[in-house]
Amino acid sequence: MSVFTRQHLRILADILEAASRDEILPRFRKLTSGEVRSKTGPLDLVTDADEAAERQITAALHKAFAGCLVVGEEAASADERVMDGLMQADLAFVVDPVDGTSNFASGFTLFACMAAVLVHGEVVGTAIHDPIGQDTALALRGEGAWIETIGGGQRDLRVADPVPLSEMNGGVSWRFLPGDLGPKVAARLPAVAGSFVYRCAGQEYRLLAGGFCHFLFYARLYPWDHAPGWLLHQEAGGYAAHFDGSPYRADNIRGGLICATNRESWQALRDALLPESL
């Protein structure tokens, strides 16, 4: 597929909304202990809702977009070969059925159901659905970012105006930084006005694209966690790059990422939070 249109994006949004309605919300705050499992550790969980929603989304995408590649978080966690061909596919979707699973499993309302669209490795579309708020943040490459409600309302998204480093507030996730880099970054956080970790990248990116914070800082970059939000932020007028200054790529999962309101703010954050030797 050479062109992914607003009509196609609406189909994607409808698929995420249906999975949220059918498989995610009916299980919210009703999970039994056997329906919540650990994958790689106590902070990396999967639930029956994740798996059921991913199955429904995957089947619906294959039906709506015949021949597409679907890379779901849970399928990729079980078999990394699912990601083979992601950057070469004519049309691919990366899917996080329940982003913020730890929040979801603990009954906290901050989670999302999201997907990004890739054409030959380029992220061209985004849908981040909030099952609790009943709206979806959408972006289409070159056409901006906006939020649509199920009732048909729409509002555009725009990043915040730039502010000095000492006035910036943003999300900082440094847990997956290698070696002793994590504590070094944590020690530098007083350079900004405030920082947070909401354990849900989808909702953090929505805040950033909506102008409600100034930056996000991430270490581990699985495409289902960051491709949707990266495009949303980009189309809302923001600037993002890997730690080395190179443009975001969906297959660079350990290059770190800083998202800011503009290039100057990105550089100020890079200089303040990361050692010069990195």
Q: What is the structure's pLDDT at 79? A: 85
Per-residue pLDDT at 133 exceeds 90: yes
Counting every residue written for the chain, the total comes to: 278
- Taking only Cα atoms into account, the Rg of the chain, rounded to an integer number of angstroms, comes to 18
pLDDT band at 25; cut points 50, 70, 90: very high
What SS3 state is found at 268? helix
Q: Please report the pLDDT score of residue 81 as a whole number.
A: 87
Burial class (CB in 10 A: 0-12, 13-18, 19+), 165: middle
Could you tell me the pLDDT band of residue 156, with boundaries at 50, 70 and 90?
A: very high
Q: What domains does the chain contain, in order, with CATH numbers?
A: 6-156 (3.30.540.10), 165-273 (3.40.190.80)
* Neighbouring-strand partners of residue 257: 218
- Span 210-228, pLDDT tens digits: 999 999 999 999 999 999 9
Please state, in angstroms and rounded to a whole number, the distance separating the CA atoms of residues 106 and 245: 37
36-88 pLDDT tens trace: 988 776 667 899 999 999 999 999 999 999 999 999 999 998 888 888 899 99
User: Which tens digit of pLDDT belongs to each residue from 185-210?
Assistant: 999 999 999 999 999 999 999 999 99
pLDDT given at position 1? 62
Residue 239 bridge partners (DSSP)? 260
Backbone angles phi, psi at 228, to 5 degrees: -60, -50
Range 34-41, long-range pairs (CB < 8 A, 24+ positions): 36/105, 39/77
Mean pLDDT of 4-28: 97
What pLDDT score does 150 carry? Answer: 81
pTM equals 0.96
Q: How many CB atoms are closer than 10 A to CB 33?
A: 6
What is the mean pLDDT of the segment spanning 224-238? 98
DSSP at 195 = E
Express as a percent the part of the chain with pLDDT over 90.
85
- Measured CA to CA, the distance from residue 140 to residue 134 in angstroms comes to 20
> Helix or strand or coil: residue 88?
coil
Task: Write a three-state SS string for 137-148.
Answer: EEEECCCCEEEE
Residue 127: strand pairing partners? 115, 138
Per-residue pLDDT, 278: 62
